Chains A and B, each alone.
Chain A
Amino acid sequence: MVQHTPIEVDREKGNFSYKTHYEYDAGVGLNEGVINYIADVKGEDDWIRQFRLKALDVFNRRAMPTHWATKDLENIDFAKIRYYLSKGQIPKRTWEEVPDEIKQTFERLGIPEQERKFLAGVEAQFDSEAAYSNIKTDLEKQGVIFLGPNEGLKEYPDVFRKWFGKIIPTNDNKFSALNSAVFSGGSFIYVPPGVKVAQPLQAYFRINAESFGQFERTLIIADEGSEVTYMEGCTAPQFETSTIHSAVVELVAMKSAKIQYITVQNWSNNVFNLVTKRGLAHEESEIRWIDCNIGSRLTMKYPAVVLNGRKARGEVLSIALANDGQHQDTGAKMIHNADETSSNIISKSISIGNGRSSYRGLVHIPDHLRGCKNNTECDALLINTNSRTDTFPAITVRGNGNSVQHEASVSKLSAEQIFYMMQRGLSEGEAMSLSVNGFVNDLMKHFPMEYSVELKRLIDLEMEGSVG
Chain B
Amino acid sequence: MANQLEIRNLNVTIGDKPILKDFSLSIPKGEVHALMGPNGTGKSTLAKVIAGHEDYTVQSGEVLVDGVNIIGMEPDEIARSGVFLAFQYPLEIPGVSIANFVRAALQARMEEGETFNAPAYYRSLYEKMDLLQIDRKFTARSVNEGFSGGEKKRCEILQMAMLDPKYCIMDETDSGLDIDALKIVANGVNLMRSPDRAFLVITHYQRLLDYIIPDKVHVMWDGRIVQSGNKDLALELESKGYNWVKEELATA
| A441→B159 CA distance, assembly (Å) | 22
- Whether B14 sits at the interface, judged by CB under 8 Å, is no
Residues of B within 8 A of A417 (CB): 91-93
- Whether A421 sits at the interface, judged by CB under 8 Å, is yes
Interface window among A280-288, A337-345, A389-397, A422-430? A422-430
User: Is B79 in contact with A422, judged by CB distance below 8 angstroms?
Assistant: yes
- Whether B182 sits at the interface, judged by CB under 8 Å, is no
| A457→B100 CA distance, assembly (Å) | 15
- Whether A437 sits at the interface, judged by CB under 8 Å, is yes
Residue interface mask B75-105, A partner, CB < 8 A = 1: 1101110001101001111111000111011
Residues of B within 8 A of A442 (CB): 95
User: Is A422 in contact with B74, judged by CB distance below 8 angstroms?
Assistant: yes
Q: Of B54, B95, B104, B142, which contacts A426 at CB under 8 A? A: B104
Q: Knowing A424-B159, A425-B109 touch, does A434 contact B76 (C-beta < 8 A)? A: no
A and B contact pairs by CB, cutoff 8 A, 6 listed: A415-B54, A417-B92, A424-B108, A425-B79, A425-B108, A428-B76
User: Is A425 in contact with B95, judged by CB distance below 8 angstroms?
Assistant: no
| A98→B142 CA distance, assembly (Å) | 41
Residues of A within 8 A of B92 (CB): 417
- Whether A439 sits at the interface, judged by CB under 8 Å, is yes
Q: Of A420, A424, A438, which contacts B94 at CB under 8 A? A: A438
Q: Of A423, A427, A439, A440, which contacts B51 at CB under 8 A? A: A423
Q: Of B93, B95, B142, which contacts A421 at CB under 8 A? A: B93
Residues of A within 8 A of B54 (CB): 415, 419
Residue interface mask B55-81, A partner, CB < 8 A = 1: 000000000000000000011101110
What's the minimum C-beta distance from A464 to chain B, rounded to whole angstroms?
13
Q: Of A423, A434, A439, which contacts B85 at CB under 8 A? A: A423
Chain A: how many interface residues by the 8 Å CB criterion?
25
User: Is B76 in contact with A425, judged by CB distance below 8 angstroms?
Assistant: yes
Interface of A is mostly: helix
Q: Of A411, A423, A430, which contacts B75 at CB under 8 A? A: A423
What's the minimum C-beta distance from A346 to chain B, rounded to whole angstroms?
14
Residues of B within 8 A of A441 (CB): 95-96
Q: Of A414, A425, A437, which contacts B80 at CB under 8 A? A: A425
Residue interface mask B151-162, A partner, CB < 8 A = 1: 000000001000
Q: Of B79, B100, B102, which contacts A423 at CB under 8 A? A: B79
User: Is A435 in contact with B76, judged by CB distance below 8 angstroms?
Assistant: no
Q: Nearest 3 A-B pairs (CB), nearest first?
A: A438-B95, A438-B96, A422-B75
User: Is B90 in contact with A434, judged by CB distance below 8 angstroms?
Assistant: no
- Whether B209 sits at the interface, judged by CB under 8 Å, is no
| A431→B74 CA distance, assembly (Å) | 13
- Whether A74 sits at the interface, judged by CB under 8 Å, is no
- Whether B53 sits at the interface, judged by CB under 8 Å, is yes
Residues of A within 8 A of B90 (CB): 420
Residue interface mask B99-132, A partner, CB < 8 A = 1: 0111011001100000000000000000000000
- Whether B233 sits at the interface, judged by CB under 8 Å, is no
- Whether B213 sits at the interface, judged by CB under 8 Å, is no
Q: Of B80, B93, B102, which contacts A435 at CB under 8 A? A: B93
- Whether A8 sits at the interface, judged by CB under 8 Å, is no
| A417→B145 CA distance, assembly (Å) | 12
User: Is A420 in contact with B96, judged by CB distance below 8 angstroms?
Assistant: no
- Whether A407 sits at the interface, judged by CB under 8 Å, is no
- Whether B184 sits at the interface, judged by CB under 8 Å, is no
What's the minimum C-beta distance from A413 to chain B, rounded to whole angstroms?
9
Residues of A within 8 A of B142 (CB): 438
Residues of B within 8 A of A423 (CB): 51-52, 75-76, 78-79, 84-85, 87
Chain A residue nearest in CB terms to B87: A420
- Whether B163 sits at the interface, judged by CB under 8 Å, is yes
| A425→B163 CA distance, assembly (Å) | 9
Which residues of A384-408 are within 8 A (CB) of B?
none
Residues of B within 8 A of A431 (CB): 76
Residues of A within 8 A of B79 (CB): 422-425
What's the minimum C-beta distance from A212 to chain B, rounded to whole angstroms?
32
Chain A residue nearest in CB terms to B106: A425
- The residue in B80, B87, B94, B102 that gathers the most chain A C-beta atoms within 10 A of its C-beta is B94
Residues of B within 8 A of A421 (CB): 93, 101
User: Is A424 in contact with B105, judged by CB distance below 8 angstroms?
Assistant: yes
Q: With A422-B74, A424-B102, A434-B104 given, can you name 9 additional A-B contacts, CB distance below 8 Å?
A: A417-B93, A419-B51, A420-B93, A425-B79, A426-B104, A427-B108, A435-B93, A435-B94, A438-B95
Chain A residue nearest in CB terms to B105: A424
Q: Of B80, B91, B95, B102, which contacts A420 at CB under 8 A? A: B91
Chain B residue nearest in CB terms to A439: B95
| A422→B93 CA distance, assembly (Å) | 12
| A420→B91 CA distance, assembly (Å) | 7
Chain B residue nearest in CB terms to A420: B91
Q: Knowing A419-B75, A420-B87, A434-B101 touch, does A426 contact B108 (C-beta < 8 A)? A: yes
| A425→B160 CA distance, assembly (Å) | 12
- The residue in B90, B91, B92, B163 that gathers the most chain A C-beta atoms within 10 A of its C-beta is B91
Chain B residue nearest in CB terms to A421: B93
Chain B residue nearest in CB terms to A438: B95
| A415→B53 CA distance, assembly (Å) | 10
- Whether A416 sits at the interface, judged by CB under 8 Å, is yes
Q: Of B80, B84, B93, which contacts A434 at CB under 8 A? A: B93
What's the minimum C-beta distance from B117 to chain A, rounded to whole angstroms?
18
| A441→B145 CA distance, assembly (Å) | 15
Which residues of A418-467 are within 8 A (CB) of B?
419-428, 430-431, 434-435, 437-442
